[in-house]
A and B are shown apart, each in its own frame.
Chain A
Amino acid sequence: MARKHVKISSRMLFTWFMLGGLILLFAPQNWTNKFQFVFTRLFGWPLSISRAVSLSVRARQMSGDVVSRGEYDRLQNHLANVMEELSQERRKVEALSGLHSRPALEGAKFVLADIITNSVGGLNKTFIINRGQSDGLAKDQLVLGDNSIIGTISEVSSRTAEVRLITDSASNMAVNIGELNVNRVMEGDGRDSAKVRMLSIKHQVKAGDNVYACKKAGFLDTPFIVGEVAQCKRDDENPSLWDITVRPACNIDGLNGVVVLIMNPQN
């Protein structure tokens, strides 16, 4: 039997596709994200290879100290975390001498994950990792790279998750700078750094001071290094406040894998 040939006009075709596009645009983000997760799951292997190739080429283009620099960053961050934890413990010992307290990260679970792909638009600072709900991941958990916090889980599916970096313009995180005992919100600037504002100039802040993420119930039980102050100047709009630029504590672009911190793992 001859098949009936249906001819659709270009105008009709355009209308239907535009309607489809509008449905996709206004559909909830957690539904439409599934397309991205399915793509990364199907093509995870070639995506990982192409990312590894681009990383190795970039590393070759840079000077020969890339490997040692990464190691240096990792150890520096570890040292900063240990020093901060130590000073916290000292303060506790001074206040509650004689009482026992458990180490802050005791019982926490660290899930190693590989970065599958970056968001390619270059506009958003996000990437997708090959771990998901089945590995115990949940939204808002903190993500570490080279012993420092680099972002949070923003979306999660069963086998993959999206990480929003601290430099993304939608990222905000409570932080504490150096020895100051004042919490402020750090917001990503959409480039390669983050900003801390609303801090009075009466507080002493200088370039090179470490910036720590504050404790967050269920997600972080001890301050953890996020970055260091790259620039500190008076705010243009309000000169009584600092405009602080924070540089991440590690080279995020050079990371191959990350660690997700699960403070209260479900057995």
Chain B
Amino acid sequence: MQWFRFAGIVIVVMLLQAGLVDVVAIASIKFDLLLILLVFFAVYCSASDAIITSFAIGFAADVIGSAIGPQTISFGLFGTLLACLNSIIAVRRMPYQSLVIAVVSLLSGTSALLLTFLKGQPTPPNAFLILLGTSLYSAAVGPYLFLPLLWLTNVRTHHFYRR
């Protein structure tokens, strides 16, 4: 894993998510680039790299979000689970990637909302509706972003089996 390249990609994605993604928002619902990045690294990296990248991307999501902690834990947990699952079932075809993005988005989003509530931070009444919209939008866009990400990260896709 090229960590400097990873850090650069995460920072660029944070900046895009914090502003430019608003341009393509549909009814105030935006896709989550950091979540797509999480699924990408969980699917294409080794288990230990996937754990590090999941927690790092979660922390990045918290930094541009409202509170520090909830997304770090949620992304870390579900990124790790996905990495473990990926050593058994390959997620290479686009429809499966879409499905995985939607499921991970819903689960990590719900968990992040619960943790935000636990932290004593306010959660709006329509949070689950926004979460559902974000999950579907991310699932629709995500697989198309995997190709440029593969090129950017230079991940060797032929390695599927992990130890």
B15 in complex: contacting residue of A29, A36, A46, A169, CB < 8 Å: A46
**69-93 of chain B: CB within 8 A of chain A:** 69-70, 72-73, 76-77, 80
The reply to whether B48 and A8 contact each other, CB–CB distance below 8 Å, is: yes
B73–A53 contact, CB under 8 A?
no
Q: How far is the CA of A18 from the CA of B89 in the complex (A)?
A: 25
Tell me if B100 is interfacial: C-beta within 8 Å of chain A.
no
A32 with B51, Cβ < 8 A, contacts A47-B18, A53-B19, A169-B122 known: no
Q: Does residue A99 face the partner (Cβ distance < 8 Å to B)?
A: no
> Is A218 part of the binding interface, using a Cβ–Cβ cutoff of 8 Å?
no
B130 near A: Cβ within 8 Å?
yes
A189 near B72: Cβ-Cβ < 8 Å = no
Within the complex, the shortest CB–CB distance from B66 to chain A, in Å, comes to 4
Say if the beta carbon of B134 comes within 8 Å of chain A: yes
Q: Flag if A53 contacts B20 (CB, 8 Å).
A: yes
| B66 contacts A123, C-beta separation under 8 Å | yes
A25 touches B72 (CB 8 A): yes
A50–B48 contact, CB under 8 A? no
CB-CB under 8 A from B14, the residues of chain A are: 39, 43
Q: Is A134 positioned at the interface, with any CB of B under 8 Å from its CB?
A: no
Q: Which residues of B contact A58 (CB under 8 A)?
A: 22-23
Q: Which residues of A contact B134 (CB under 8 A)?
A: 122
Known contacts A24-B69, A32-B67, A54-B22; A169/B30 CB under 8 A? no
* Chain A window 50-77, contacts with chain B (Cβ cutoff 8 Å), 1 for yes, 0 for no: 1101100110000000000000000000
What CA separation (Å) do A8 and B49 show in the bound complex?
A: 11
A117 at the interface (CB under 8 A from B): yes
- A24 adjacent to B23 (CB under 8 Å): no
In the complex formed, the residue of A with least CB distance to B47 is A10
Q: A14-B80, A50-B15, A190-B126 are in contact. Are A117 and B64 (CB under 8 A)?
A: yes
Cross-chain contact A43 with B15 (CB below 8 angstroms) = yes
Q: Beyond A122-B30, A191-B126, is A36–B68 a contact (Cβ under 8 Å)?
A: yes
| Distance, CA A117 to CA B19, complexed state (A) | 7
Is the CB of B29 closer than 8 A to any CB of chain A?
yes
Which residues of A are found within 8 Å of B140, using beta-carbon distances? Answer: none
The answer to the question of A160 belonging to the interface, with a C-beta cut-off of 8 Å to chain B, is: no
Does B1 have its Cβ within 8 Å of any Cβ on chain A?
no
Query: What is the bound-complex CA distance between A120 and B70, given in angstroms?
Result: 14
- Shortest beta-carbon distance, B56 to chain A, in Å? 9
What are the interface flags for B53-67 relative to A under an 8 Å C-beta threshold, 1 for contact and 0 otherwise?
A: 001001100111111
A190–B127 Cα gap in the complex (Å)?
A: 9
Asked if A122 and B20 make an inter-chain contact with CB atoms under 8 angstroms apart, the answer reads no
Most A C-beta atoms less than 10 A away, residue of B48, B69, B73, B124? B124
Contact for B18 among A10, A24, A57, A118, CB less than 8 A = A118
A24 close to B72 (CB less than 8 A): yes
A157 interface residue (CB < 8 Å to B):
no
Cα-based distance from A191 to B124 in the complex (angstroms): 8
Chain A residues lying within 8 Å of B119, measured Cβ to Cβ, are 25-26, 29
Mark B residues whose CB is within 8 Å of A: 11, 14-23, 28-30, 47-48, 51-52, 55, 58-59, 62-70, 72-73, 76-77, 80, 113, 115-116, 118-119, 121-127, 130, 134
Further 12 A-B residue pairs, CB within 8 A, beyond A17-B51, A26-B119: A21-B58, A24-B59, A26-B69, A32-B68, A46-B15, A118-B19, A119-B66, A122-B134, A123-B66, A124-B65, A170-B122, A190-B122
Where the two chains meet, the residues of A that have a C-beta atom closer than 8 Å to any C-beta of B are: 8, 10, 13-14, 17-18, 20-22, 24-27, 29, 32-33, 35-36, 39, 43, 46-47, 49-51, 53-54, 57-58, 117-124, 126, 168-170, 189-191
Question: What would 22 A/B residue contacts be, using CB atoms closer than 8 Å?
Answer: A10-B48, A21-B73, A25-B72, A26-B69, A26-B119, A29-B67, A32-B69, A43-B11, A51-B19, A53-B19, A53-B23, A58-B22, A117-B18, A117-B64, A119-B64, A120-B21, A122-B30, A123-B123, A124-B65, A126-B66, A190-B125, A190-B126
